[in-house]
Amino acid sequence: MALEITDASFEEVVLKSDKPVLVDFWAAWCEPCRMVSPIVDEISGEYAGKAVVGKVDVDANQEFAAKYGVRNIPTVLIFKNGEVVDKQVGAAPKKTYTDKIDANL
């Protein structure tokens, strides 16, 4: 399962990570988000120890969604060394996400 990231934990979990971080910005009412969620959970298991994989519920945690200009969900951001290095807006196949992580390992 992917980590649940909140506004309170975002800096520690994402920005200070020494590994690449995939962050899925989602909401419970969003149908495409529900399609992406199991993919993100799978990736979390496959990349354990190599990358951090987490989810931010934008309804409950708006600070970092706003900071990074997340206007459409799902939006997946890839962070490396505290900086956004890649982005995917809208649902995509699993390979799209894993290629983005692999490019930053």
pTM tops 0.95 = yes
Averaged pLDDT for residues 33-46: 97
Cα dist from 55 to 4, 9, 23, 44, 73, whole Å: 5, 11, 5, 10, 12
Q: Which amino acid is at 87?
A: K
The pLDDT, as a whole number, for residue 79 is 98
Residues identified as active-site: 30, 33
Residues 50-77 have pLDDT tens digits of: 999 999 999 999 999 999 999 999 999 9
